[in-house]
């Protein structure tokens, strides 16, 4: 059975734009407090407080994806160094030279936004700076392909083909639709999987999120049931935007003007 892709229009789209704007503002302010000595729980507390102060709710908090043994316990995923995505906030203290992935979601008037960045903790190595640059470029290469008339695979190829061969493109995790729920159809791989996928049409909203590793593309799931870690324990980076397909250029909903 063909899975439904729900388009965003009218009041729903208006609320989604506002949801994305609010999330982007929180993430932008969060980046400013990332420094050596902060704990991942303090990061989580900041996001929770800022979200509820706006009358919204964190979409990840108590979300239980299919196959998970328990609901996710944080308001934002905080993934450090070799942690790829879905790191659980706790008492870990960030130190100089770390890189940290911050992946958040927000629900405003029933509409879900999604966004991620990877940021430096103090001064980082040139190798890590390049990793962040490559991953961010992969995201924007995918965004350029988000044109009505293209197919999901066009986006996937644009992301994967932009990444130099020396890096690992994570294949078992992917982007997705977003808006009415935290995760919707279609899935958007970050590499050419040879599957054409659905045609992009105006009103679709995609959360593109390349995850790029310094070494192998192999990852494993930690015993906590959520955190994915690189198999060789080399660092990983993650960037994400929520993207609206239009009749013209794609609109980056989670980008601040």
Round to whole Å and give the CA distance between 182 and 90: 23
Q: Determine what percent of the chain is predicted with pLDDT higher than 70.
A: 99
Tens digits of per-residue pLDDT, 26-72?
999 999 999 999 999 999 999 999 999 999 999 999 999 989 999 99
Among 3.20.20.240, 3.40.1390.10, 3.40.50.1980, 3.90.230.10, name the CATH number for the domain at 10-252: 3.90.230.10
Cα dihedral 219→223→225→231 (10° resolution): 0
Average pLDDT over residues 132-147: 98
Tens digits of per-residue pLDDT, 232-254?
999 999 999 999 999 999 999 99
State how far the alpha carbon of 68 is from the alpha carbons of 11, 77, 189, in Å: 33, 15, 21
For the beta carbon of residue 18, count every other beta carbon within 10 angstroms.
18
Q: Do residues 16 and 113 touch, judged by C-beta distance below 8 A?
A: yes
Burial (CB < 10 A; 0-12, 13-18, 19+), residue 142, is buried
Tens digits of per-residue pLDDT, 161-187?
999 999 999 999 999 999 999 999 999
**HEC string for the chain:** CCCCCCCCCHHHHHHHHHHHHHHHHHHHHHHCCCCCCCEHHHHHHHHHHHHHHCCCEECCCCCCCCCCCCCCCCCEEEEECCEEECCCCCCCECCCCCEEEEEEEEEECCEEEEEEEEEECCCCCHHHHHHHHHHHHHHHHHHHCCCECEEHHHHHHHHHHCCCCCCEECCCCCEEECCCCCCEEEEECCCCCCCCCCECCCCCEEEECCEEECCCCCEEECCCCCCEEECCCCCEEECEEEEECCCCCCEECCCCC
Burial (CB < 10 A; 0-12, 13-18, 19+), residue 91, is exposed
All structural domains of the chain with their residue ranges: 10-252
């Amino acid at each position: 059975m063909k899975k439904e892709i729900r388009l965003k229009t009218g009041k729903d789209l208006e609320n989604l734009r506002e949801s994305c704007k609010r999330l982007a503002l929180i993430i932008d302010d969060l980046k400013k407090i990332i420094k050596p000595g902060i704990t991942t729980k303090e990061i989580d507390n900041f996001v929770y407080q800022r979200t509820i102060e706006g009358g919204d709710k964190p979409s990840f908090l108590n979300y239980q994806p299919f196959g998970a043994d328990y609901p996710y316990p944080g308001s934002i995923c905080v993934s450090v160094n070799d942690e790829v995505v879905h790191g659980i906030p706790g008492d870990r203290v960030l130190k100089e030279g770390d890189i940290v992935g911050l992946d958040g979601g927000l629900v405003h008037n029933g509409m879900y936004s999604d966004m991620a960045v990877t940021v430096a903790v103090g001064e980082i190595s040139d190798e890590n700076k390049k990793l962040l640059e490559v991953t961010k470029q992969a995201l924007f290469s995918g965004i350029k392909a988000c044109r009505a008339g293209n197919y999901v695979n066009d986006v996937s190829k644009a992301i994967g083909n932009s990444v130099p061969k020396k890096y690992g493109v994570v294949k078992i995790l992917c982007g997705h639709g977003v808006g009415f729920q935290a995760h919707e159809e279609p899935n958007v791989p970050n590499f050419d999987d040879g599957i054409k996928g659905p045609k992009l049409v105006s009103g679709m909203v995609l959360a593109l999120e390349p995850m790029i590793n310094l070494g192998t593309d192999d990852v494993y799931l930690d015993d906590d049931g959520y955190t994915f870690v690189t198999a060789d324990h080399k660092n990983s980076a993650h960037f994400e935007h929520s993207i609206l397909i239009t009749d013209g250029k794609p609109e980056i909903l989670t980008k601040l003007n």
